[in-house]
Amino acid sequence: MSQRVRTSPEGSGQPLNEVYDTALLDLDGVVYAGGNAIAHAVDSLELARTGGMHLAYVTNNALRTPDAVAGHLTELGIPAGADDVITSAQAVARLISEQVPAGARVLVIGGEGLRVALRERGLTPVESADDDPAAVVQGYGGPDLPWGRFAEASYAVRRGVPWYASNTDLTIPSGRGIAPGNGAAVEVVRIATGAEPQVAGKPLPPMHRETIIRTGAERPLVVGDRLDTDIEGAFNGEVDSLLVLTGVTDGVQLLAAPPRHRPTYVDADLRGLLTGQPEVGREDDGFRCGGWTATAGSDRLELTGDGEAMDGLRALCAAAWTAAGDDSCALDGQKALARLGL
């Protein structure tokens, strides 16, 4: 299982969509980027779905409702219903509902996704610190959230009202660059109050629990592009994970990953769901995958051979993670990665 120290990506003789009953897919950097579908996502997901795999979409973004996300996916050619989408707004709403009286008022600093999720749990969204809220919840509110909303949160939190956050991603990708995410907004209130929120989103357990409750998955595979949210969330939930390289993680970060950030499998994109995964073999002269052999030198990783780039990356992961043990690998992998075009 994921909690032991992983020292190599694993192999699978069977296609992953036959090994796992449910794919828990991150959205940004996995399925779409900047509103457009990522290469091979539409076709691969269609084949996985018609082959019998249940697909669920798991996002830390609390702004949009599951309905809106499902509509966007369907427009991209990925048929999805609201029930197939799990958001951090839903996870934080359940967390709050377990800790406050039924029907309690909750001060909302965020968007529609958060309000809908609170109502679904029988809670009453309110807008002012003077509405006697039993909780304060903060979720991403989009670019037009007024500064005064952080003041509203601070008034209530200062009075000792329990404070929750859907997620603490510091940044959010936009078509024009990197924008402040909900984590940055949470920092504003934290600085003003000195308080600490309870957080629901990836990589924390409330989000994983929400995902399992809603999908009923028995053998889930987390599919993501970020090591510190998707892959760490799978590690914390003790389930397997597939890292795809279509988003924010590059080869350097993957080779340096500490144990909680090491995925079970690595592939270029979502086509990896439909195939088996090659084994990395440990040989006398290094770690072999496909036509590549990787070794850990005194200050850098070495790679010899040729073949598929992903096989070379898997061999390098095994060399780096084995050398690092339960730490982060400090060996230079740049030159070896350059051979792979990564």
CB of 34 to Mg ion, least distance (A): 12
Binding to Mg ion by CB under 5 A, coded x per residue (else -) over 21-60, reads: -----x-xx-------------------------------
Shortest reach from residue 226's CB to Mg ion, in Å: 5
Nearer Cβ to Mg ion, position 57 or 287? 57
Burial level of 231, CB count in 10 A (0-12/13-18/19+)? buried
CB of 340 to Mg ion, least distance (A): 22
Residue showing the smallest CB distance to Mg ion in the complex = 29
* Strand ranges (E), the chain: 22-25, 32-33, 36-37, 54-59, 85-87, 105-109, 124-126, 135-138, 163-165, 171-174, 177-180, 198-199, 220-224, 240-244, 265-267, 281-283, 286-289, 292-296, 301-305
Which of 21, 28, 43, 225 is an active site residue?
28
For residues 119 and 103, give the distance between their C-alpha atoms in angstroms, rounded to a whole number.
9
Cβ–Cβ < 8 Å for 141, 159: no
* Contact code string over 235-254 relative to Mg ion, x by CB under 5 A: ------------x-------
Neighbours of 74 (CB within 10 A): 12
Closest contact distance (angstroms) between CB of 285 and Mg ion is 37
> What single-letter DSSP state applies at residue 332?
B
**Catalytic option among 26, 225, 240, 267:** 26
Sequence-ordered list of residues with C-beta below 8 angstroms from that of 330, at least 6 positions apart, any chain: 256, 324
* 169 scored as a contact of Mg ion (CB under 5 A): no
Peptide bond into 203 cis (omega under 30): yes
26 given a catalytic annotation = yes
Compose the 213-232 pattern: x for residues touching Mg ion by CB under 5 A, - for all others: ------------xx------
Give the range of 18-26, 56-64, 170-178, 316-324 binding Mg ion by CB under 5 A: 18-26
Residues at the contact surface with Mg ion, assessed by CB under 5 A: 26, 28-29, 225-226, 247
Residues labelled as active-site residues: 26, 28
